[in-house]
Amino acid sequence: MQKNLMLPLYVTSGEPAGIGPDICLSLAERIDERPIVVLADINMLRDRANMLKQDIQIIEYMGQTETSAQGQLYVEHVPLANPVVMGQLDVKNAAYVLEQLRRSADYAMSGKSVGVATAPVQKSIINDAGMHFSGHTEYYQEFAGAERVVMMLATQTLRVALATTHLALRDVPDAITQERLHQVIDILIHDLKTKFKIEHPHILVCGLNPHAGEGGYLGMEEIEVINPVLESYRAQGVNMSLSLPADTLFTPENLKDADAVLAMYHDQGLPVLKSQGFGEAINITLGLPFIRTSVDHGTALSLAGTGLAKSSSLHAAVDLALDLARR
């Protein structure tokens, strides 16, 4: 533990025309046990601080091992291609956003950091620039060479992992295969045990169809695909439900002893979680060989530079990353 105590945690500032730079500036309020380093154009961040009338000493990070003092912020300079107009996306700055991700992943993979927390990016502008980009999760997966990763969002009281992530709804049923479910559940169990130190995790699983298929009348996926996989884990002593109707699974009575819920698709589980803790929730990528956490919100272009952006989710993401690093 002492060996990596002074390794930094990197924070990507994300889309420069959005609120990422604004919320990253709020990290200067913190006092942490290790350096927190923001990846951003240092001049842009100084300009944003001045615009927001924030008296912050922005220090270029050159490998310092001591933590910054309150009111100070370490920044590793990543140069912008074009000056930023807040609220206006610019394809010429798409490569700047990806360079933040590349550096953060490279440092984590090479043991130069304890992990990364990410501010939001705008997927559309990166794709408009001619670079295929599905999201942070898929980018880090490819960089790390991981066969499968799992997106999990968490609040103080609820964790929701996803069997599929950024897929059109019409593509979801075909993507729910026994092979995918085995991969996702293996990663979920492994990381709950190793990263979260939950020795015997209790996992609830959503069915794909309404009423979990209603015995086959509303779909056969639960009978033919999902439950056979879940039965195999239950036979090994894993504390896991069979597929449950998603409309009643998320009741307090059902959730009171659960360590995580596995939802079949993005908008099945995340609306419930975000309704409970939007702005405080954290996105965690499971299955990576390093720690990656993220905010639970988007770029909020209209709020950039207004001083109205809330930074609570970024602070929660940093807190969790630091907590996982010390476990």
Asked if residue 234 belongs to a known ligand binding site, the reply is no
Asked if residue 132 belongs to a known ligand binding site, the reply is no
Longest CA–CA separation in the chain, Å:
63
Asked if residue 211 belongs to a known ligand binding site, the reply is yes
75 vs 245: CA distance, rounded Å: 47
- HSE at residue 252, side-chain half, CA atoms within 13 A, is 1
Asked if residue 136 belongs to a known ligand binding site, the reply is yes
If one counts every other C-beta atom within 10 angstroms of the C-beta of residue 30, the result is 15
Rg (CA), the chain: 20
1 vs 126: CA distance, rounded Å: 38
Residue with tokens 């130190």: 197
* Contact present, 114 and 7 (Cβ < 8 Å): yes
310 vs 38: CA distance, rounded Å: 17
Which residues are paired to 117 by β-bridges? 11, 293
Asked if residue 166 belongs to a known ligand binding site, the reply is yes
Asked if residue 292 belongs to a known ligand binding site, the reply is yes
Binding site for a divalent metal cation, residues? 166, 211, 266
Binding site, residues? 136-137, 166, 211, 266, 274, 283, 292
Binding site for substrate, residues? 136-137, 274, 283, 292
